[in-house]
Structure 1
Amino acid sequence: MNETAPRADIGVFGGSGFYSLGEDAETWEVETEWGPPSAPVTVARFGTVRVAFLPRHGVDHRFPPHRVNYRANVDAMRRLGVRALISPFAAGSLRPEIRPGEFVVCDQLVDRTWGRESTFHDEFTDGPVHLPFAEPYDPRLRRALLDTASATGVTAHDGGTVVVVNGPRFSTRAESRWHRDAGWHVVNMTQSPEAPLAMEAGIPFVGIALVTDYDAGLDEDPGIAPVTDAAVLAVFESNLHKLRRLLEAAIPEVDRALADVSES
């Protein structure tokens, strides 16, 4: 990393349709031992908080979910010194009560991906390292996002399980029904290995789903069409202002939550 690159307090990953955050941002090339991240990192100030932003798919969405260099993305944030990672993501709803345009601040994750580099430990040079992952999402960060959503009038569901599929294809009707019958709430393609890598890097992590669709449809409403790329991007774009408003209000709250813990 360039020696003059700034340190950052909080990191934010951008997803489908979300490629920039903050005005007057400085752009930095960050080098990692895992190769280059998906894009240069931009660092902007939100009040006194320095926020590093990285679009996980690249600025032109060139990387499909199974080809994102997750290790480089997380390590770039670690090298910038972030004390928390906020990970917004597009998601399909598996529940009729979780509607497109709403948010879910997830508390659990099920990983159904394969073939991805999901750990920094290619070998155990100093003995085994098996980190607990029972709680993939940091409760302090979840609380900060939920409180901010309530204060800003954004509908955000408290808790939910995201099932992560490999992509880039969407689910079959049978898969979607299976995920719903298992009790899961939303489906996404990128929360793993982001979450476990953040855990290994020692960075508190929170994922917030922006619901864009009903996946392959709902059995109880045959009028709902299966998801398409165009539908996802259209709903995401029409709700991006809510995501930006939520993040801009939540960033100082997240920073305060981290400061409260460090002072206690």
Structure 2
Amino acid sequence: MRIGILTGSGTYALPGLDVRSADLVRTLHGSALVTTGDLAGVEVLHVSRHRDGHERISSQVTHRANIAALRECGADAILGVTVCGACDPDLPLGSLIVFDDLHFLTNRLPDGSICTLHTVPGAPGRGHWIFEDPYAPPLRAALLDAARAAGHEVRDGGCYGHVDGPRFNTKAEIRTLRSVGVTAVSQTGGPETVLAGEAEIPYALLGYATDYANGVAQEATPVETLIRLIEASTATFASTLADAVTRIDPASLAPTGTHFRWD
């Protein structure tokens, strides 16, 4: 079993990963750097969205290449982690969320193109991803159990809201997202969810609340708090992921939803 792990702001290398190789994997959608190693005895394929030194800000992340590279490397499942802004005032900062729904109405990549792996007319496999829930239940369960075992405060379920970066959102924009039930927002998880679904790789997303989005709290979260919690998220994600990968039963893994294909 090979588990893909996608990390974001604050986590550029995966703590505890016994690295065997780091390779630039070339795909039809570009190249991605994939680090292969063992985490808690499980083979892991790690991709840092932003790369070392936060080389790529959110509007420059190569989502298609990242997911395509993990598929090329034989990932049986993908766990994504993201620091995020809380839209729910009852969500404590520094706590985790294992999302179970997605708000990503634009369905577009940072360059404005449609978020899909089906980019060539007539290509085999083209079609529609059809699903009830976007995140794989066995992976969600592994993340929840791992977070609890590590003693982290974690919420079971919540709607992830994808927003375009690199700027943060206005109070009016956050009010709109709150009105449809978005729990927390960040700037990278939407495309990953969709592309992993199209690639037929089970995927789950774990969030860590670093701040309250604009207008959610009476007083804005200090930037110093945001930075401190981004730094703290690395250890929380690492301990959760190291336990979660050991809890995944290969026999439970299956593509999320189904595909209506035109060939």
Contact 2:83 2:209 in 1 (8 A): yes
Q: 2:191 aligns with which of 190, 193, 207?
A: 193
The aligned residue for residue 205 of structure 1 is 203
Among all aligned residue pairs of Structure 1 and Structure 2, give the percentage whose two residues are the same amino acid: 34
Contact 2:118 2:126 in 1 (8 A): no
Contact 1:91 1:186 in 2 (8 A): yes
- Structure 2 residue 76 is matched with structure 1 residue 46: no
- Amino acid of the structure 2 residue aligned with 1:31: R
The aligned residue for residue 231 of structure 2 is 237
Secondary structure of 2:46's aligned partner: strand
The aligned residue for residue 259 of structure 2 is none
Name whichever of 118-127 and 163-172 sits farther off.
118-127
Cα deviation 1:173-204 (Å, max 9, x = unaligned):
11112211222111111112111100111100
The aligned residue for residue 257 of structure 2 is none
- Structure 2 residue 33 is matched with structure 1 residue 35: no
- Structure 2 residue 1 is matched with structure 1 residue 15: no
* Structure 2: runs of 5 or more not aligned: 255-263
Contact 2:76 2:253 in 1 (8 A): no
**What is the Cα deviation at residue 66 of structure 1?**
2.4
The aligned residue for residue 106 of structure 1 is 99
Name whichever of 174-183 and 140-149 sits farther off.
174-183
- Amino acid of the structure 2 residue aligned with 1:174: A
**What is the Cα deviation at residue 48 of structure 1?**
3.3
The aligned residue for residue 77 of structure 1 is 70
Contact 1:112 1:165 in 2 (8 A): no
Secondary structure of 1:86's aligned partner: strand
Aligned equivalents of 1:226, 1:41: Cα separation in 2: 34
**What is the Cα deviation at residue 10 of structure 1?**
0.2
- Amino acid of the structure 2 residue aligned with 1:123: V
The aligned residue for residue 179 of structure 1 is 177
Aligned equivalents of 1:144, 1:128: Cα separation in 2: 31
Secondary structure of 1:232's aligned partner: helix
Which structure carries more strand by proportion? 2
Aligned equivalents of 2:12, 2:211: Cα separation in 1: 20
- Amino acid of the structure 1 residue aligned with 2:230: F
Aligned equivalents of 1:128, 1:239: Cα separation in 2: 38
Contact 1:105 1:160 in 2 (8 A): yes
- Amino acid of the structure 2 residue aligned with 1:234: R
The aligned residue for residue 123 of structure 1 is 120
Deviating 4+ runs (over 4 angstroms): none
Cα deviation 1:135-190 (Å, max 9, x = unaligned):
11001110111112222211110000011111111110111122112221111111
Aligned equivalents of 1:261, 1:173: Cα separation in 2: 40
The aligned residue for residue 259 of structure 1 is 251
**What is the Cα deviation at residue 24 of structure 1?**
3.5
Contact 1:118 1:196 in 2 (8 A): yes
Aligned equivalents of 2:73, 2:241: Cα separation in 1: 19
1:88–1:128 distance in 2 versus 1, CA, 3 Å = closer
RMSD between aligned alpha carbons?
A: 1.9
- Amino acid of the structure 1 residue aligned with 2:93: P
TM-score by length of 2: 0.87
Cα deviation 1:60-89 (Å, max 9, x = unaligned):
212222221111000110111010000000
Query: Aligned residue pairs: how many?
Result: 247
* Structure 1: runs of 5 or more not aligned: 1-7
Q: 1:167 aligns with which of 160, 165, 168?
A: 165
Secondary structure of 1:185's aligned partner: strand
Secondary structure of 1:29's aligned partner: strand
**What is the Cα deviation at residue 227 of structure 1?**
6.6
Secondary structure of 2:29's aligned partner: coil
